[in-house]
Amino acid sequence: MTFGPKLAWDDTVLPFQLDATNMRGRVARLDGVLDGILKQHDYPPAVEALVAEMALLTALIGQTIKLRWKLSLQIQSKGAVRMIATDYYAPQKEGEAARIRAYASFDPERVNDSVPMHQVGEGYFAIMIDQGQGTAPYQGITPLTGTTLSDCAEAYFAQSEQLPTRFSLSFGRSAGPDEPEHWRAGGIMLQHMPKASPFAATQEGNGNVLTASDLVEGEEEENWNRVNILLDTVEELELIGPIVPPTDLLVRLFHEEGPRVYDAQAVRFGCTCSEDRVRQSLSIYSARDIEKMTTDDGRVTADCQFCGAHYDLDPATVGFDAEKPASE
């Protein structure tokens, strides 16, 4: 289903740098991508908002990874929303679209209509990068902090990467005169690229979470503060509305900082699940284990949390001592 005329900048991430300062960033728009992610599930509004924010953060952060790599964001919490997981699959080839998927695990009886972040309790925020077979995945973890998932991501980059980082996001349901209600989301990510801060070593491990302001000083601090003040002037409709292209928005916000844009990255909703992957995941189980998983109807079933795909398999064809289907 489509909603009105598709804009050139829908479902894209536009990388840029500010030539007058040592900063880079991205502008993202997710429209059809978010609808693809959220229509797979009947999430309560607060959970929907958290998944939308997490997907937008994933697009902004994921654009920097290399071809064929995979970036995953995850929060684990003791709150009503137990987990949100997202994956960003970089293109296989230059010019192809990246793919994003996301889902949330939550306790329906504990979720309410209050502020979305109130559904998240004590826990952690993690970023993982998988470079492919033969490599060890990278993982960084920081405690959940702040009043939004953006705050958590900013704290992650300050604490784990020593990179001052700022996000400005807008997302929600939108409807025009001639179109049904649907999701729109947009955001800007700014990142200062300094040397590792001398404060990192002294504060690490003392129970405090570093912030961007701990990592810049002198002229860098002045530049960082000035650009953040400019970013604070962005309006929600500029981030998600159909009028202002991302390039025009960057000029409006940062014209004195010398914004330079690069090729935009297209993003799509996409899942990597398949029957072969389900069979592979079940290949570690014995026939006795498979018997315990078999339904009353004599089948082994599996559902993909990300896209809702349902797999219905003959128990005799799964497990490490299974007979392969005749088709194989």
Say if CB 228 and CB 176 are below 8 A apart. no
Q: Which of 129-138, 139-148, 200-209, 279-288 has the highest mean pLDDT?
A: 139-148
pLDDT at 107: 95
**Cα dist from 254 to 168, 230, 278, whole Å:** 14, 7, 48
pLDDT at 1: 37
| Of 88-97, 156-165, 196-205, 230-239, the least confident | 196-205
138-168 burial by CB neighbour count: b if 16+ within 10 A, else e? eeeebebeeebbbbbbbbbbbbbbbbbbbbb
Please tell me which residue, 241 or 257, carries the higher pLDDT value. 257
Q: Is pLDDT above 50 for 98? A: yes
pLDDT at 243: 85
Annotated domain spans of the chain: 12-269, 277-317
Mean pLDDT of all residues in 113-141: 91
Q: Is pLDDT above 60 for 328? A: no
pLDDT at 17: 95
| Of 35-39, 50-54, 260-264, the least confident | 35-39
- The string of pLDDT tens digits covering residues 48-67 is 999 999 999 999 999 988 98
pLDDT at 136: 86
Please tell me which residue, 252 or 328, carries the higher pLDDT value. 252
- What is the rounded distance in angstroms from the CA atom of residue 285 to the CA atom of residue 271? 25
Q: What is the mean pLDDT of the chain?
A: 85
Q: Is pLDDT above 60 for 311? A: yes
DSSP string covering 27-69: EEEESHHHHHHHTTS---HHHHHHHHHHHHHHHHHHTTSPTT-
Say if CB 210 and CB 200 are below 8 A apart. yes
pLDDT at 305: 76
pLDDT at 82: 96
Q: How confident is the model at residue 199 (pLDDT cuts 50, 70, 90)?
A: very low
Residues 6+ apart with CB under 8 A from 38: 48, 51, 52, 183
CATH fourth-level superfamily of 12-269: Hsp33 domain (3.55.30.10)
pTM confidence score: 0.83
Q: Is pLDDT above 60 for 207? A: no
pLDDT at 175: 66
